[in-house]
Amino acid sequence: MVELTGRAGNWVALQGDSYEVVAEGRTLKEVADKARRRGVKNPTFARIPRKNCALIL
């Protein structure tokens, strides 16, 4: 399970099967750039809902 508390409304990049958050930011481009700089080749991107609800990846 990934801890997403405090990230409401932001984009995140997750690493492969571990679903480790490798980047976070306000825009998808910002997050993709951060993930690429950290050497993550194929991250999974998700936008965290602003309201409290389930997020299935």
Q: What pLDDT score does 51 carry?
A: 73
Measuring CA to CA, which residue among 47, 46, 45 is closest to residue 36?
45
DSSP 49: P
Cβ contacts of 50 within 8 Å, gap of 6 or more:
8, 9
Q: How confident is the model at residue 50 (pLDDT cuts 50, 70, 90)?
A: confident
Torsion of CA 24, 27, 32, 37, to 10 degrees: -60
Q: What pLDDT score does 56 carry?
A: 62
CA distance 35 to 21: 10
| pLDDT tens profile 1-36 | 566 666 788 999 999 778 889 999 999 999 999 999
Q: The pTM is what?
A: 0.76
Q: How confident is the model at residue 43 (pLDDT cuts 50, 70, 90)?
A: very high
